[in-house]
Each structure stands twice: as structure tokens, then as C-alpha cells.
């Protein structure tokens, strides 16, 4: 004879599930992955521009630190800050792959080697054409993007429902504003 489950039994089981039990370990693993990837590519970015390489080191160390801190229940404000930080990194990734960001180093032909500087000029003398500052998409950076998106999703799961709703609304509004900025630019 088989036992018959009543719908209220299923509700009781769902209520007993601790979202931290799954979300936190997943967030920890993917945060480590994103941090390691940022540290692996930091030397190449240091060669392009010192500030860019330092930014990659800082982001990588912050993601590794987050993975360690997730062993304990984080205060809500710190979890929200981690969501915001990872979302900012995702936004920077999308911007550098879609928009010719003026402060990024050029990636066009001739910019991958050092040339003699031009007297009174800026850079290595190779002209920067529109689109030279748009980064190419590669498998390692896509892996890092997925890792950061998973971390954001898992951190949202562990937030209290009231806060999760507000943070989710803020993320949606930011995405809409960012899309409008790109369209109107």
C-alpha cells in the first residue's frame, strides 16, 4: 500500500527548506570561480593599463572574500552590497562589450604592441578608431559573467522577502535605465 500525500504535507515540507542550505554553497563556489578568473586575467589587464589591472585584482579579491564570508550569516546590508557589487561588475562587462567606452584602452590593430611615442601626442601614435575600445567576448569572460549572475541570484534568495523585493525592483529599474541610456546615446 502506498502512502498518499496531502497538499498540506507538501506545503509543510517546502516551508521547512532553508534557502541558505542550497543558495549559500552555490554562491560560494561561483564567487570563488569569478574571483579566480579575475585574478587570472589581471596580469594581462595590468599590461594594458595599470588602473584596469588593479581593478581586476580588487574585484577578484572581493569575490574571494565574499565566498569566505558566506560561511557565516551575513548582515542584510552586506548581502545587498554584495549583490550591488556583483551587479556593477556585470554592468561593466556588458558596457565594455557593447559600447566604445572612452576611458578604456584601445584594442584595435597595432595597439597590442608598444610603439615609439609621438612627440606631443598621447598614447603610442596609433590612431584610435571608433570601436577600438570595445572588448571581444571570450569563453573565460562568459564563464565569469555566468558565475557573477549565479552569485547575484543566490544572494537574492537568502535575503528576507521584503528586502529581496526592493532589491529586485532596484535591479530591474537599473536595467531599464541602462538599456534606455544605450538606446538614446
CB 30 within 8 A of CB 147: yes
Q: The cell 528586502 sits on which residue?
A: 163
In angstroms, the CA 41 to CA 43 distance is 6
In angstroms, the CA 118 to CA 56 distance is 30
pLDDT of 96-133, one tens digit each? 878 777 667 766 554 455 555 555 555 555 555 555 66
pLDDT of 34-62, one tens digit each? 999 999 999 988 888 888 889 999 999 99
**15 pLDDT exceeds 90?**
no
Distance of CA 155 to the CA centre of its chain: 13
pLDDT at 180: 86
| Domain edges within the chain | 20-99+134-184
**3-state helix vs strand vs coil in the chain, percent to 5:** 70, 0, 30
In residues, how long is the chain?
A: 185
> Taking the complete model, does pTM exceed 0.85, yes or no?
no
- When pLDDT is cut at 50, 70 and 90, the band that residue 30 belongs to is very high
**150 pLDDT exceeds 90?**
yes
Residue 128 vs residue 71, higher pLDDT: 71
pLDDT at 75: 93
pLDDT at 136: 74
Question: Which phi and psi angles does 138 have, rounded to 5°?
Answer: -130, 170
Q: Is 166 helix (H, G, I), strand (E, B) or coil?
A: helix
Question: Which phi and psi angles does 159 have, rounded to 5°?
Answer: -75, 150
| Cβ neighbour number for residue 6 with a 10 Å cutoff | 9
Alpha-helical runs (H) found in 123-160:
139-158
Amino acid at each position: 500500500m502506498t502512502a498518499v500525500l496531502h497538499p498540506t504535507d507538501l506545503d509543510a515540507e517546502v516551508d521547512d527548506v532553508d534557502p541558505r542550505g542550497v543558495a549559500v554553497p552555490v554562491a560560494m563556489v561561483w564567487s570563488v570561480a569569478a574571483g579566480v578568473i579575475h585574478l587570472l586575467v589581471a596580469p594581462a589587464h595590468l599590461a594594458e593599463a595599470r588602473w584596469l589591472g588593479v581593478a581586476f585584482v580588487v574585484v577578484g579579491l572581493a569575490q574571494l572574500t565574499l565566498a569566505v564570508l558566506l560561511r557565516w550569516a551575513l548582515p542584510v546590508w552586506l548581502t545587498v552590497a554584495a549583490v550591488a557589487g556583483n551587479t556593477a561588475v556585470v554592468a561593466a562587462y556588458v558596457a565594455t562589450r557593447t559600447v566604445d567606452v572612452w576611458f578604456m584602452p584601445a584594442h584595435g590593430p597595432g595597439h597590442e604592441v608598444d610603439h615609439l611615442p609621438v612627440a606631443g601626442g598621447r598614447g603610442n601614435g596609433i590612431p584610435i578608431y571608433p570601436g577600438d575600445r570595445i572588448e571581444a567576448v571570450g569563453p573565460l569572460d562568459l564563464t565569469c559573467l555566468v558565475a557573477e549572475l549565479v552569485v547575484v541570484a543566490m544572494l537574492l534568495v537568502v535575503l528576507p522577502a521584503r528586502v529581496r523585493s526592493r532589491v529586485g525592483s532596484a535591479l530591474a529599474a537599473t536595467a531599464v535605465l541602462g538599456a534606455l541610456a544605450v538606446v538614446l546615446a
